[in-house]
Amino acid sequence: MSAPLIVLVGPMGVGKSTVGQLLAERLGVGYRDTDDDIVAEQGRTIADIFVDEGEPAFRAIEKRAVRTALAEHTGVLALGGGSVLDADTRAALAGLRVVYLSMDVEEAVRRTGLNTARPLLAVNPRRQWRELMDARRHLYTEVAHAVVPTDHRTPEEVTQAVLDAT
Ligand code: S3P
């Protein structure tokens, strides 16, 4: 069975897409992102899916997208920030090279605070961020083989740190 070479997890805005693409270039493999897969499959934005159908429906779509990508992709795979909420998804990550890209709250607000395209941070980014991370930090840590902090680091530096850690 094929499996991704490296899976990136971590909160929205941490740079999974940017770092994932740089990693894929460095390793000479393909890059895939489950958020992109969902948008392509659904023909609408993630924000629209949240508004139209609500978060539980989005999570069900996301769970399927993650399962498909894990089965099909052999390069670098970035997962949406909330995908680790699902226990089956966490189990499916066991044995893979999973890297948790982390950042502190100030960095998070700087990177995502004004981005209302992210429905989970649209109202009060700082408080929502803390709540999200309180609920998820241990889940990212549980699935990860390595944790790579991204604060005050360029995407190139983070990419190198991921390569060093895997
Ligand atoms: C979410 C993260 C987003 C996207 C959706 C929900 C989350 O992905 O899947 O807005 O719950 O953390 P990114 O982490 O790629 O921004």
CA of 118 to the centre of ligand 1 (A): 7
The more confident residue out of 108 and 77 is 77
Strands (E), 5-107: 6-9, 31-33, 76-78, 98-102
- Given a cut of 70, is residue 113 above it in pLDDT? no
Indicate whether residue 12 lines ligand 1 (CB < 6 A).
yes
Indicate whether residue 5 lines ligand 1 (CB < 6 A).
no
Domain interval for residue 55? 6-165
- The ipTM is 0.97
**Measuring CA to CA, which residue among 63, 107, 100 is closest to residue 85?**
63
Mind listing the pLDDT tens digit for each residue in 1-46? 678 899 999 998 899 999 999 999 999 999 999 999 999 999 999 9
Tell me the C-alpha distance between 97 and 115, whole Å. Answer: 30
Q: Can you give the pLDDT at residue 112?
A: 66
Based on the structure, what is the number of domains in the chain?
Answer: 1
Residue 133 lies in a domain: yes
CA of 82 to the centre of ligand 1 (A): 6
Percentage of residues in the chain having pLDDT higher than 90: 77
- Ligand 1 pocket: which of 9, 12, 61 to mutate (most atoms within 8 A of CB): 12
Residue 1 lies in a domain: no
Tell me the C-alpha distance between 109 and 14, whole Å. Answer: 10
**Which of 18-27, 98-107, 110-119, 128-137 holds the top average pLDDT?**
18-27
The answer to whether 18 is a known ligand-binding residue is yes
CATH number, residue 91: 3.40.50.300
The answer to whether 136 is a known ligand-binding residue is yes
The answer to whether 16 is a known ligand-binding residue is yes
